[in-house]
């Protein structure tokens, strides 16, 4: 509490004076005054960091973490601030602190998790509407949904409105725009089951199953399902009746089903 009132007494004049002394101390290597003034400036502006961190606290990261990364931003701002530019320190520091906080979210892959969370919430909302409707004998309110799902009412509404629609970033979006460092893209963060891999497995099974078919059955299935040729057309090519093609196809499919089920 004491510290709080001390901070409030930090007015713009005192900030400027301290920065002037800080700039002079910087030019004297090894001067203990430098570190002392630096910490003094940090402590004096922790309220600013806290104020800004709170604004981002509803994005799913802990306030303590945000204050910590915000303080890193504050330190950067203190070290780079130049009194001669004539802007006030808070004007200068705010974008630096906000930038640091936003970079933290980006580094955590936050922009990928949010739509997923909203989509999951969207599904949960729909399930809960059904459950609560049965239980209450009427359509539930947003407040009741929020309570049941342990979310805020705004979250519920947003999940309903945007849960399906939120634009996902391109997978090639660079996540950190830090100058020369090679940026990571969203792609680097994403791991999924590879659908092609499962398909490959199916394909191997199918190939084995195909071995039980006669040559003619294989040709029919190939033309019918890979080349999408009509039964009539196949009949013409094989010089048999369409009925016969139909029967052979039926038989071949049954054989395959049998083998694949084993």
Partner 1 sequence: MNQPVENLTHTLGTVELRIPCKAEWVAVARLAAAAVANRLNFSIEDIEDVKLAVAEACTNCIQHAGGQQIQIVCETEPDALTVHVRDFGRGTRPEAIASRDDEPRLGVFLIRSLMDSVEYDAHPEGGTTLVMTKKVSG
Sign of the Cα torsion 21, 24, 27, 30 reads negative
Of 86-94, 121-129, 221-229, 244-252, which segment contacts partner 1 by CB under 8 A? Answer: 86-94
Q: Is 6 in the site for partner 1 (CB under 8 A)?
A: no
Q: Is 165 in the site for partner 1 (CB under 8 A)?
A: yes
Alpha-carbon gap, residue 98 to 56, rounded angstroms: 9
Alpha-carbon gap, residue 12 to 137, rounded angstroms: 61
Of 111-119, 133-141, 211-219, 247-255, which segment contacts partner 1 by CB under 8 A? Answer: 111-119
Q: Is 173 in the site for partner 1 (CB under 8 A)?
A: yes
- Nearer Cβ to partner 1, position 187 or 214? 187
Of 34-42, 105-113, 195-203, 245-253, which segment contacts partner 1 by CB under 8 A? Answer: 105-113
Q: Is 52 in the site for partner 1 (CB under 8 A)?
A: yes
Alpha-carbon gap, residue 107 to 115, rounded angstroms: 16
Q: How far apart are the first and last CA of the chain?
A: 74
Q: Is 98 in the site for partner 1 (CB under 8 A)?
A: yes
Q: Which two tokens stand for residue 126?
A: 């729909």
- Nearer Cβ to partner 1, position 54 or 123? 54
Q: Is 104 in the site for partner 1 (CB under 8 A)?
A: no
Burial label for 220, CB within 10 Å (0-12, 13-18, 19+), is buried
Q: Is 14 in the site for partner 1 (CB under 8 A)?
A: no
* Residue in the block written with tokens 């600013």: 48
Alpha-carbon gap, residue 224 to 182, rounded angstroms: 50
* Residue in the block written with tokens 């196809």: 249
Q: Is 111 in the site for partner 1 (CB under 8 A)?
A: yes
- Of the candidate residues 23, 61, 83, 99, the single one contacting partner 1 (CB under 8 A): 99
Task: Please answer whether residues 149 and 125 qualify as being in contact, where contact means their C-beta atoms are separated by less than 8 angstroms.
Answer: yes
Task: Please answer whether residues 242 and 231 qualify as being in contact, where contact means their C-beta atoms are separated by less than 8 angstroms.
Answer: yes
Q: Is 77 in the site for partner 1 (CB under 8 A)?
A: no
Of 26-34, 109-117, 132-140, 237-245, which segment contacts partner 1 by CB under 8 A? Answer: 109-117
Q: Is 119 in the site for partner 1 (CB under 8 A)?
A: no
Count Cα neighbours of 134 within 13 Å in the Cβ-side half-sphere: 5
Chain residues that interact with partner 1, rule: CB under 8 A: 8, 48, 51-52, 55-56, 59, 90-91, 94-95, 98-99, 102, 105-106, 110-111, 114-115, 153-154, 157-158, 161-162, 165-170, 173
């Amino acid at each position: 509490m004491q510290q709080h009132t001390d901070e409030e007494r930090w007015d713009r004049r005192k900030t400027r004076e301290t920065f002037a002394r800080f700039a002079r101390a910087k030019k004297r290597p090894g001067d203990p005054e430098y570190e002392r003034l630096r910490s003094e400036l940090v402590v004096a502006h922790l309220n600013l960091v806290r104020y800004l961190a709170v604004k981002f606290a509803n994005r799913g990261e802990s306030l303590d973490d945000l204050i910590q990364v915000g303080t890193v931003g504050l330190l950067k701002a203190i070290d780079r601030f130049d009194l001669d530019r004539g802007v006030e320190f808070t004007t200068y520091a705010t974008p630096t602190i906000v930038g640091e906080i936003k970079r933290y979210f980006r580094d955590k892959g936050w922009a990928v998790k949010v739509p997923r969370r909203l989509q999951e919430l969207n599904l949960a909302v729909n399930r809960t509407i059904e459950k609560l409707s049965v239980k209450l004998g009427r359509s539930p309110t947003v407040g009741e949904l929020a309570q049941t799902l342990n979310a805020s009412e705004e979250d519920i509404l947003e999940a309903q409105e945007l849960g399906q629609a939120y634009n996902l970033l391109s997978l090639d979006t660079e996540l950190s725009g830090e100058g020369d460092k090679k940026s990571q893209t969203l792609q680097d963060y994403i791991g999924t089951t590879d659908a092609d891999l499962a398909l490959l497995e199916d394909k191997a099974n199918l190939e084995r199953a195909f071995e039980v078919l006669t040559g003619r059955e294989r040709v029919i299935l190939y033309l019918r399902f890979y080349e999408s040729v009509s039964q009539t057309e196949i009949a013409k090519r094989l010089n048999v009746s369409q009925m016969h093609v139909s029967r052979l196809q039926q038989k071949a499919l049954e054989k395959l089903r049998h083998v694949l089920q084993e």
